[in-house]
Structure 1
Amino acid sequence: MRIQTIFTGAKLLALVVIIVAGLVFMVSEDGGWLSSDPPDGEEIIPATVQEGTPDGLTVAGVALAFYSGLFAYGGWNYLNFVTEELKDPYRNLPRAIWIGLPLVSVLYVLVNMSYLAVLPAAMVATSPAVAVDFGRAVLGPLQYCVPVFVALSTFGSLNGILFTSGRLFQAAARQGHMPAVLAFVDVRASTPKPALLASCTLSLCLLGLDIIALINCLSFVLWLSIGAATAALLWLRHTEPLLHRPIKVPLVLPIAFLLCCLYLVIVPLITAPRSTGLGVLMTLSALPVYVLGNTCKHYKCVQRANRQISHCIQKCLTVVCPEYSKPDQLLDPDITR
């Protein structure tokens, strides 16, 4: 968490520098590209700019554009994964949402205004590194700090993703849907080390895919799962109205959110079947593994091999089985001796 705090601070510092530089440029004599009289003269064209113009506005294009845009804003739901480790979650979780989402939205809107004030829209749309081009245009000697801050921002985002995604493996293992050893925690730090390593390994396996195809593929799966979870909550709200709900919102919010999720799932599935179809195949590939695991776990030879592998992993990673309310869902108690 110290690492996350430091790198998030570095990211916010870089954003503030870009916003201030853009505002200064906008109030200058020419007013930048957002003024009614755009600047003339030689344009600052990056060496790596791609040729061509963006496609026209279409329903499919908007949905796929949302995938990339929502990927940039993708940290809003990560805090829910670590609710168990959050101090006073019923108070701090809503506070984090109400403070974090408006703050991030305002910052990035102002950053994009700064980009569009300094650089022409076509360059912003085609440049592979907008912040670097922005720094080259207005920051002078500070332009060499921009790639460093971009790297820090990327590392901080990656740290946050790994911190939270590992808890998904841990929760699944705790419920018996994945190998129980993934629910084990480090004896000193109490962190789910096997789950984090599994998440890291699967991430490395996906590095060979094109970044846009990867974003479209995983965003499809992400919004499909988020939509399913939202629909399940609405169903429980209807069938179990008396359940204790510490955090409760008006029904119009989850219904509107579910409609947005349906749009983000159905439209790309029809218009971009290649990338979204890969996401479907990746998701469905887990079903035979899950069925096979549930079928074979009752055989003694499989249980023996499972215990031996778990023993080996425990010794190598120094992890133990934590105390849960349903310990029978994990391996035999003698494994944790």
Structure 2
Amino acid sequence: MKSPDVSLGREQPDAKKRPRTKIARAAEAKEGRIMVGEWPHHSASIEKRRKGQMGREFAFRGEWESGRGGDRFGRFLAGQGLLLPRRAFSKFEMAFGLLSALCRSTKPATSHGIGRKVREVESSIMKSKHLILAGLVGMSVTSAHAVVLVQTLDPGYYNNNLGTILNLSNGNPHDSAQPFPVFDDSTVSFPTAPDISAASGILGNWLTTPGALNSNWSGPMSIPNSWTPGNEVAVIYKFDTLGAQNVVAKFGVDNGIYAWLDGNYIFGARAAGGVGIWEYTLNLGDFAAGTHYLQLLLEDHGGSNGYAVEITADTYTPAPVPDGGSTAALCGLAFGSFFLARRKRS
């Protein structure tokens, strides 16, 4: 996914052109991301307004001044190509500036005091930037184009122990509408779910309790784009989110695919020929807050096979990850807000 290039700001009339800073070069190196032009490092600020997909005005701002922390915050925002509401950017920029200033002013001798804690918090925040921007404040990750959630070879849960157990398991073996044939290359769609009870011992409760898979499953692991010819395999993609809008899944499969969302059958089809980009497009709708599972059976009955996938959303808010880094990041933001509030009162 490539966002359109955006040049930010206008050069001051009296400012001399200087060589690009390391920060500017790093931002420009991100192909298709927001780019920073030739700006003096110590005094320039940049601003660009865009219209969001829902008609709301978004702004990207960066105070590129040494010693305030805005350069770091602007740099990783530029690297991610994110557009944030102006107020949200200002608040986070202030928190980053505060933590950076405290870390620089704290001497190593106080390693057992506040200096060490602040440095740890800053490190956690930098590692948890997506969580800060999206999870903790409930803000959607929004870009100029759809957010890519899954691509070919991305990780998921994988079961390649099915073999050919499902072959001809659904009624008349000579029926061209068999979901798991051994030779027929008809183009067929399946509005109702196939009978997969023959593989229940191998698949386990993958449709009802996908969070507790049996030992035939592996993952999370990179999902291969091919598998043993003539066999079937099963795939699960897991989404932990605070909400997503307009989720769309696109597939190319040789030969067939059967899909469930949170255990509910939504689609099935098979066709002759190799992998087409994209043969099948599934509109999955919006995801409510929580954990969601896209469960797939990939079918093959020929001498070769293949699999390609792309899952996108207009907006996607990842759920907070319950680990130490996330907790430290939250504490860091709270600490920064408290410090700023005390400073204002004084």
Which structure has more relative contact order (CA 8 Å, sep 6+)? It is 1
Report the structure, 1 or 2, having the larger strand content.
Answer: 2
- TM bracket (short chain): under 0.3
Whichever structure has more helix as a proportion of its residues is 1
TM-score by length of structure 2 reads 0.23
